[in-house]
């Protein structure tokens, strides 16, 4: 592409999407995320980058998702999706950050430099799929994304309001037509179709009942479940709450992140004792379950619980299908409750890998197994299956003994019900409901598999989150000097104590996690560690107080 062709890049930026802020913005664990009013020039530039990426990938389709996921409504964000439906290749995160932060005057030359650096053939066709969440700022940002694509002569296709996992799915299908049809309807056909197929093979028995309450976080996931609800043929009786009406604000006092972090039930949901509730997040890529008991206590069933449920069921099916030579593994982060890790390794005898926070790290580690299950405690996760596993299970479903065939056919439905590209609240909801039905258990029985260690998460605002460096999958702190020694000293005074700190991927805060033998001890341990972070890592504002 001759330099004169890049003039339109500057013209679009100057006339329609000028850079009006000097705030430095970084491509974090889930792309760029900040106040929506700071993002228009960034999203326009990511449209440019998506076209370059598409051409580097020989014209394969790239995705752009406009969302700030579980953040509150004033925020927004953008992330790029690679051709297989995975997160943007990590080496490109620095390129994205550089392009987002240059001045408008340098945009043309920097774009030319990046094209040369990545050796993009600009004569190739380029295709970019664009999706957005329900935020009122999303349509304007989606338009900026389209303009970025058009400025470099790429072809944008706008999907309108979709869940983040739907966009990942559509990108994957567009580049691999064996995976499915790259439309919202194609997504329903595959994932919801597989759920109905498997449920017709499983009788409802034991303590399981088909009623499920859902907290939609006033976001897109609840809206899509409202569409799906009509086609479930009675296999699941969905009662949907927080669908965005009646003044409900996106993710405000509701949704998976609120439920997980605050350990409180969301507002806007009618509660019946021991009735299971699934809470989605704002863009539909996280899910946690909970119930309220007869004393109004909330009992959380988070990503760790979902992961252990999936691991136990898939292990059972592999045994029944006599496919135990397939290597099953589970991937967690340091946030996983210690009790869940012990249960998986000692009871289920499934190997566990621990990786850095961020779904891209979990997804990559899961690919090293024939069947890899990964979940963050926050409810973001899925299952990935190697071609070897799919082929072996398919062969057993045709040629095995009757009982083996039956188990293999259930596994094939299970695979189709899974969105392998990324954590998907809707897909995960159907997986969980399938397993609870197959086992004939209710939420109390699900909870009884192991007892969580009480835990607490806190945030400490700091001048610069990059002052904190970590190692050992973020479980140990390497800077600032003296902080890890202080954490070790504090932890040593608590029974079953464990704590770690890590810089947020999205804001200038340090996240503190602690667990101990009692809730009182976990709360106190978290507060003591938070004070150490404040003192040694440049805390801002008021020093955290110890619980009384």
Cα–Cα distance, 393 to 326 (Å, whole number): 9
**Active-site residue among 54, 69, 146, 353?**
69
Asked whether residue 378 is marked as a ligand-binding residue, the answer is yes
Q: Is 184 helix (H, G, I), strand (E, B) or coil?
A: helix
The stretches of 132-175 forming alpha helices (DSSP H) are 138-151, 164-175
Asked whether residue 377 is marked as a ligand-binding residue, the answer is yes
Cα–Cα distance, 122 to 115 (Å, whole number): 8
Contact predicate 278/287, CB 8 Å: yes
Contact predicate 280/221, CB 8 Å: yes
Nearest CA to 168 out of 435, 507, 427 is that of: 427
Asked whether residue 503 is marked as a ligand-binding residue, the answer is yes
Asked whether residue 504 is marked as a ligand-binding residue, the answer is yes
The verdict on whether 69 is a catalytic residue reads: yes
Asked whether residue 376 is marked as a ligand-binding residue, the answer is yes
Give the bridge partners for 64, in sequence order.
80, 130
What contacts 130, CB < 8 A, 6 or more positions away?
A: 63, 64, 65, 66, 142, 145, 146, 149, 156, 157, 158, 159
Characterise 240 by phi-psi region: left (phi > 0), alpha (psi -120 to 50), beta (else): beta
Asked whether residue 104 is marked as a ligand-binding residue, the answer is no
Give the bridge partners for 498, in sequence order.
515
Asked whether residue 178 is marked as a ligand-binding residue, the answer is no
Asked whether residue 511 is marked as a ligand-binding residue, the answer is yes
Sheet holding 127-132, edge to edge: 32-35, 75-81, 62-66, 127-132, 155-161
Residue ranges at the known binding site: 69, 281, 283, 285, 376-378, 502-506, 511
Residues taking part in catalysis: 69
Residue ranges at the known binding site for Mg(2+): 69, 281, 283, 285
Residue ranges at the known binding site for substrate: 376-378, 502-506, 511
């Amino acid at each position: 592409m001759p330099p004169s062709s890049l003039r339109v890049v500057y013209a679009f930026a100057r006339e329609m999407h000028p850079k009006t802020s000097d705030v430095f913005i970084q491509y974090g664990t889930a792309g760029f995320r900040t106040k929506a009013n700071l993002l228009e020039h960034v999203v326009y530039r990511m449209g440019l980058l998506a076209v370059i990426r598409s051409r580097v990938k020989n014209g394969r389709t790239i995705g752009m998702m406009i969302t700030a996921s579980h953040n509150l409504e004033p925020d927004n964000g953008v992330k790029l999706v690679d051709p297989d439906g995975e997160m943007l290749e990590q080496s490109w995160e620095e390129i994205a950050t550089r392009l987002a932060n240059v001045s408008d005057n340098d945009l043309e030359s920097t774009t030319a430099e990046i094209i040369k650096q990545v050796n993009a053939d600009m004569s190739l066709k380029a295709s970019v799929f664009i999706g957005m969440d329900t935020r009122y700022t999303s349509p304007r940002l989606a338009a900026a994304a389209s303009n970025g694509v058009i400025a470099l002569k790429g072809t944008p296709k706008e999907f309108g309001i979709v869940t983040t996992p739907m966009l990942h799915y559509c990108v994957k299908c567009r580049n691999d037509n064996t995976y499915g049809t790259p439309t919202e309807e194609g997504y329903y056909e595959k994932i919801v179709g597989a759920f109905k197929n498997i449920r017709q093979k499983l009788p409802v028995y034991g303590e399981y009942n088909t009623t499920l309450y859902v907290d939609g976080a006033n976001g897109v996931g609840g809206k899509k479940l409202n569409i799906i609800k009509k086609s479930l043929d009675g296999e699941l009786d969905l009662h949907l709450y927080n669908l965005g009406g009646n003044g409900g604000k996106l993710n405000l006092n509701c949704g998976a992140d609120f439920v997980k972090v605050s350990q409180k039930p969301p507002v806007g949901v009618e509660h019946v004792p021991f009735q299971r509730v699934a809470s989605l997040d704002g863009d539909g890529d996280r899910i946690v379950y909970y119930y309220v008991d007869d004393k109004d206590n909330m009992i959380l069933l988070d990503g760790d619980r979902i992961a252990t449920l999936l691991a136990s069921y898939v292990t059972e099916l592999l045994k029944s299908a006599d496919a135990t030579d397939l290597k099953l593994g589970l991937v967690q982060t340091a946030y996983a409750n210690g009790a869940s890790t012990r249960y998986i390794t000692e009871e289920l005898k499934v190997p566990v890998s621990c990786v850095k926070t961020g779904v891209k790290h979990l997804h990559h580690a899961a690919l090293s197994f024939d069947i890899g299950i990964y979940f963050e405690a926050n409810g973001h996760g899925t299952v990935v299956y190697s071609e070897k596993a799919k082929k072996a299970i398919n062969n057993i479903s045709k040629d095995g003994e009757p009982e083996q065939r039956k188990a293999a056919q259930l596994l094939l439905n299970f695979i189709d019900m899974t969105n392998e590209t990324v954590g998907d609240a809707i897909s995960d909801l159907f997986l969980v409901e399938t397993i609870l039905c197959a086992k004939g258990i209710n939420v109390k029985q699900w909870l009884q598999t192991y007892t969580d260690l009480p835990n607490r998460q806190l945030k400490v605002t700091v001048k610069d989150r990059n002052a904190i460096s970590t190692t050992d999958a973020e479980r140990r702190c390497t800077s600032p000097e003296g902080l890890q020694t202080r954490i070790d000293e504090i932890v040593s005074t608590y029974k079953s104590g464990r704590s770690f700190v890590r810089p947020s991927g999205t804001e200038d805060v340090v996240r503190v996690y602690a667990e101990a033998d009692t809730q009182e001890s976990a709360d106190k341990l978290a507060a003591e560690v938070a004070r150490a972070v404040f003192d040694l890592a440049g805390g801002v504002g008021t020093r955290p107080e110890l619980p009384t």
